[in-house]
Structure 1
Amino acid sequence: MAIGEAEGRGVEYRGNVAGLLLAAGSGSRLGRPKALVELGGERLVDRGVRTLAEGGCACVMVVLGAADTTVDGAVTVHNPDWSTGMGSSVRTGIDALPDTVDAVLVALADQPLITPEAVRRLVEAFEQGARAAAATYNGNPRNPVLLGREHWSTVYSMAERDVGARPFLRAYSHVVTTVPCDDVASPEDIDTAEDLARLSEVLDRA
């Protein structure tokens, strides 16, 4: 999908790092699309967009699929192949990235404990010269992930079924800058109602 086909409200491209929020899944184990789930009175998709914007992404794009909705402050792109897994959402997002950005920071809507500070650390790594970077927790690379433009085609070719940037991170670990984020974020995700209740309690205590 070309960028002209994407829909956005109040969005202006003005910098080198775009945020890409993957929010296309149906939430089969949760029983509803995760993008629309509310946590602390805020939809996960809106929380993800806010996190990316506050973390320093110049623009934010959201890949939707099972549920289409308007997302303020972001460009939305529909992935018609969302049911095949996250890989197709990564490819849809890369296809839609504007020519004016030099890197993309990929995050998942179902990881609400990712914080603007974690995003900011990756953006700062990019500003200091990193062309690929990943947040790490206990030394393990997880999300979010930052990818310079020169890596997009490789990530695109490796993203399939239910995997996104993970194969790239493993195969090209020698070019990936690791950014510890244990102290400011967590990659815990929401797959079930129990996960939602547990992370709600975590945020209530924060």
Structure 2
Amino acid sequence: MRFRPTIVVPAAGQGSRFHDSRHKLEQPFDGSTVLGTTLQHAIETGLPVVVVTIAALAAQVAPQLALRDIVVLDEADARRGMGHSIAAGVAARSGAVGWLVLPGDMPLVRASSLLAVAAALEQQPVAYAQHRGRRGHPVGFAAELFSELVLLSGDEGARRLIARYPAQAAEVDDPGVLVDVDTEADLDALRRVAMPERGADRL
């Protein structure tokens, strides 16, 4: 693929709705962890990847990414929401032709879906994955939106940019683009989808 946007994986959220003693991104999933599986699918695209995370999770992603591709936020910045994490990832790769935002708690998103959104981003300043008419992640942003992306803050992320600019949907046969992990029940459901033959109780 000649058009190579950078995949930004925000993974610094507190996961306040997940009540296990371990962070939701550290939970076992498909032979790895929730975050590890999400990153693996991103890496499989062959596109550049940068993860924005916290110190407690940085060691987990170190085997998958070079240190230069890991942006570590302090706790105060991590509490500033998804928007701030996106801004930090975009700023770390300011020379990219664009950015695909893939939250770290979406381990079912396939590499092919990421590539489909990357291709759609060549057509419009905003692109997103869509499954059966429902918008999901990743969401892509062209380089022309850099100055607005680096000012993002709060939990709404980049929703206002999606509403403001022309957007191209990439319809994909991938229900994973609609599913994230917020609670223990979410994780159990995703495990059953990912490994029906083994069952979640073997993780």
Match for residue 155 of structure 1 among 129, 137, 149: 149
Mapped pair 1:19 → 2:13: no
Tell me which moved more, 193-202 or 147-156: 147-156
1:92 deviation in Å?
A: 1.1
Structure 2 segments unaligned to the other structure (5+ residues): 198-203
Tell me the equivalent position of 1:180: 171
Report deviation, 1:55: 2.5
* Residue of structure 1 in register with 2:35 after alignment: 45
Q: 1:64 aligns with which of 43, 50, 53?
A: 53
- What is the one-letter code of the residue matched to 1:29? R
Q: Distance in 2 between matches of 1:121 and 1:93?
A: 21
Q: Which residue of 2 aligns with 1:192?
A: 183
Conserved? CA contact 2:58–2:72, under 8 Å: no
Which position in structure 1 is the counterpart of 2:106?
Answer: 111
Alignment-derived partner of residue 6 in structure 1:
none
Map Cα deviations across residues 16-45 of structure 1 (whole Å, 9 max, x no partner).
311111111122221332332221221222
Amino acid at match of 2:102: A
State percent identity of aligned pairs: 28
In the TM superposition, residue 88 of structure 1 has moved relative to its aligned partner by 1.2
Map of 2:91 onto structure 1 = 95
TM-score by length of structure 1 reads 0.81
Q: Distance in 2 between matches of 1:91 and 1:79?
A: 12
- Counterpart AA for 2:53: L
The code of the aligned residue for 2:23 comes to P
Is this contact kept in 1: 2:124–2:168, CA < 8 A?
Answer: yes
Aligned-partner SS, 1:146? strand
**Structure 1: gaps spanning 5 or more residues:** 1-13
* Superposition TM-score, scaled by structure 2 size: 0.82
Q: Cα distance 1:138–1:166, how it changes in 2: closer, same or farther (>3 A)? A: farther
After superposition, give the CA deviation of every residue in 1:38-73 in whole Å (9 maximum; x if it has no partner).
21221222212211121341x110000262323234
2:146 and 2:129 map into 1 onto residues whose CA distance is 18
Q: Tell me the distance in 2 between the aligned counterparts of 1:103 and 1:33.
A: 30
How far off is 1:149 after superposition? 0.8
Which amino acid letter does the alignment assign opposite residue 140 of structure 2? L
- Superposition RMSD on alpha carbons, in Å? 2.1
